[in-house]
Amino acid sequence: MNGRLGALLRRHRTDAGLTQEELADLAGVAVRTVRNLELGRVARPQRRTVQELADRLSLSEPDRSRLLTVARGGGWDDGAGSLPGDLADFAGRAGELRRLAGAAEAAGRSGVSRVVVVSGAPGVGKSSLVVHAAHELARRFPGGPLYVDLRGMDDEPTTPAQALDQLLTALGVTAPPPATDARLTLWRTLAADRRGLLVLDDARDEAQVRPLLPGGPGWLVLVSSRNALAGLVGADRMPLGVLSDAETRTLLAASVGGGRIAADDPAAAELGRLCGGLPLAVRAAANRLAVRPEWSARCFVERLRDEQRRLDLLRAGDIQVRGAFERSYRLLDPSVRRTFRLLGAAPLPEYTAPVVAALSGEPVPVAEDRLDRLVDAGLLGTGAAPGRYVLHTLLALFAAERFAGDEAAGDREAARGRLAAHLRGRGAAARPAASPGAGGPGSLR
């Protein structure tokens, strides 16, 4: 790994007064790329990436020369890809990795391209999984890997023209055609003559992805998105859930130190539960502990038990749980945003369309449509039974924040009043079913 490069890049970035996000945006690379370079996790960086970072930092010629010299100390990675560095503490997802390896084998054996869409809630680790899988599978594809950050959660996502420019440049095209249609034709022509691995990270919708799908045989395309991208015909879909308790402990041990976690295993288990198994939250907690060696897991758990502070505490530098939620919330239509925050009025194990209709004062079909759109956006999950919806514990805290902050006091009281009336009505309807021969007391259904 290249710790000297990381220290030097970090110093130049801070001297320039830039955050990692700002430098990444200026250079047109993923934030993960800047972060991994600064952490020394990239042994052989991309020559073009380091040159672009040096340009955006406006370095003097001596400083630029030194940065490039240090960067190529371990040799350049001059492959066609621009894949971000892998996470050294990646944990779990064994089943998903086996499935992606199977898709890679099928693409190579049959000569038919495969597209896999990895979807799920903000912070569930979609990008980490597809990047990690791409590193493991890259050797199977002599024409890859290629990587494009589609920035689907940004106010200005990557356009097809920008994405095609990145792909063509990675394939060695020094002067891509100015017209988007011409770029698309050239990309498809080049892709038809090779097998490869393409990672399309953080897609907002199908319109971003479709033009970039290679037409040639034998490609594996890994797409990460908070949306299931139901309009992509023929794609395999992999909804990503939270980590198991065992996977959470593995991630904590890898990030904080196995001895430190083993010393207070019950507290570590509770820490994982307070994070709801959400990888971003677990990683934020782990990083907080890593930079606070005087803290025990128990000490941090006691702070996290306070629901009013939990989202504030689950942040470490640019790893921010609330920020990940806010980006998805901001992109919702106003009516769907309102439905989401109304869920924060009543923390329930499950929600149904009639309950949400009572909260919103709208017809049940309207509530049902908006709940489905929240599922599509990765902000709501589906329950075991049809028509049931579940909200992750941390998203429930965020919804409660938005309910308190974005709804007027009178509207909050009205929503709670409508819900109470609805539940009273359901209770009254259920009571006649309770009789000595009915098998027990009535219940709300």
Which strands sit side by side in the sheet containing 114-119, from one edge to the other? 146-149, 197-203, 220-225, 114-119, 236-239
- Does one domain contain both 117 and 217? yes
What radius of gyration, in Å, describes the C-alpha atoms of the chain?
24
Same domain assignment for residues 287 and 393: no
In a domain, 34, yes or no: yes
Structure tokens at 137: 């599978």
User: Are residues 49 and 131 part of one domain?
Assistant: no
Q: Is 320 a domain residue?
A: yes
What is the greatest pairwise CA distance in the chain? 89
Looking at the structure, tell me whether residues 234 and 103 fall in a common domain.
Answer: yes
* Within-domain flag for 438: no
Question: Looking at the predicted structure, is the pLDDT value of residue 1 above 60?
Answer: no
Q: What is the mean pLDDT of the chain?
A: 87
Could you tell me if residue 440 is inside a domain?
A: no
Count of CB atoms situated within 10 Å of the CB of 126? 27
Q: What is the pLDDT of residue 300?
A: 93
Q: Are residues 186 and 293 in the same domain?
A: no
- Same domain? For 205 and 128 the reply is yes
85: in domain: no
Domain edge (last residue) among 294, 324, 354: 324
Q: What is the mean pLDDT of residues 102-123?
A: 90
Task: Compute the Cα dihedral for 337, 339, 345, 351 and give only its sign.
Answer: negative
Q: 191-244, pLDDT tens digit by residue? A: 887 888 999 999 999 999 999 999 778 899 999 999 999 999 999 999 999 999
Can you tell me the mean pLDDT for 276-284? 95
Q: pLDDT tens digits for 73-87?
A: 654 444 434 688 888
CATH assignment at residue 344: 1.10.10
Would residue 229 count as lying in a domain? yes
Determine the average pLDDT of the residues in 26-53: 78
| Residue 363 structural domain | 332-432
CA distances from 89 to 26, 142, 223 (A): 28, 27, 22
Q: What is the CATH number of the domain that holds 39?
A: 1.10.260.40
Same domain, 224 and 293: no
Total count of domains within the chain: 4
- Is there a single domain that holds both residue 125 and residue 218? yes
88 domain residue, yes or no = no
Question: Do the domain assignments include residue 135?
Answer: yes
Last residue of a domain, one of 239, 271, 291: 239
